[in-house]
Amino acid sequence: MQGEKTRIMMHTPVEKKPARRAGSELVYLYGFARSGAAQGVEAPGIDTGPGEDASVATPGHAVKELELDGVAGVWGAVPRREFEGEAAQSNMQDLAWITPRVLRHEEVLEKVMPRSPVLPAGFGTVFSSEQALRKVMEEHRDRISALLDEFSDKEEWSVKGYMDVRKGSEWLMSKDPTLREQEKGLCGSPGARYFQQKKLQTEARTRSKQECRAVAGEIGDQLAQLALDARPLKHQAKGITGKKEDMVLNRAYLLLKAEAAAFRAYVGRIAEKHADKGLILETSGPWPPYSFCPRIDELEQ
């Protein structure tokens, strides 16, 4: 499991103002699956109590299942104080609060995936009660079931591209005839030659960035031809990726499970072809179809 999957959309809760009820907890929805798929799943809930170990499931925050005619809502209890009102709005802006909970959200769905197709709910989808969740399931049961069938033989994979500017500019300096001639023609005093060299290197870096981004875009489009569907994803800053290279490609691809291995091998061959140019390609998955399934409030469409 990788933290970069925080691409989970932070959807507005289905009930914008959950009706007040007794107790201090809300129903947090992870997603939908086939009945029985979440039974016995051992994973920490989206939120653990004070002093509890987040690495293990605890009784008060266990993953639960609400069954309706072959379809299951996979859910867990969360503190009302953290997912409702002004506190929730503040929490949604706090990466230190969001990140571990997003990872737990993902972990639950990844534990369910081998047992059933999954329709993931967006991070932060809460209901006031089990009855409120059941009502949504009753209204959209047939649509949910049809989508589970649709995704039963499919999975999402992501391809990310990063740009090693230093490596790319060095490659360009060695291969581009114009830059090579300019480098050979450097003259003047050592000081003047130094500034000419720096200017030439800056030009090489600028051109390398442009070419790397262009190639990454072409690769993304090319890979889309091999997938059932593709979605562009927001490029992530270095502070999120934890990498020193800039991101130049971030796309999600919906693949048949039977074709995923061939897709990954193809990406690997492309990565080797462009490695000297400073382009780094990475694949990750399989994930639930985060980028391709509708939001819960879009199920009627």
Please indicate, yes or no, if residue 298 is contained in any of the structural domains: no
Report the alpha-carbon distance of residue 182 to residue 21 in Å, rounded: 75
Mean pLDDT of 177-190: 59
Instruction: Please give the pLDDT value at position 9.
Output: 40
Q: Are residues 205 and 264 in the same domain?
A: yes
297 within domain boundaries: no
Do 51 and 26 share a structural domain?
yes
Position 267 in a domain: yes
- Model's pTM, two decimal places? 0.79
Mean pLDDT of the region 11-35: 69
The parent domain of residue 171 ranges over 155-287
Domain for residue 198, yes or no? Answer: yes
Question: Does any domain span residue 278?
Answer: yes
One domain for residues 191 and 129: no
Do 37 and 171 fall within a single domain? no
Q: What is the pLDDT of residues 48-100, one digit of tens each?
A: 544 444 444 444 468 899 999 999 999 999 888 888 888 888 888 888 888 88
* 166 & 279 share domain: yes
Does some domain include residue 294?
no
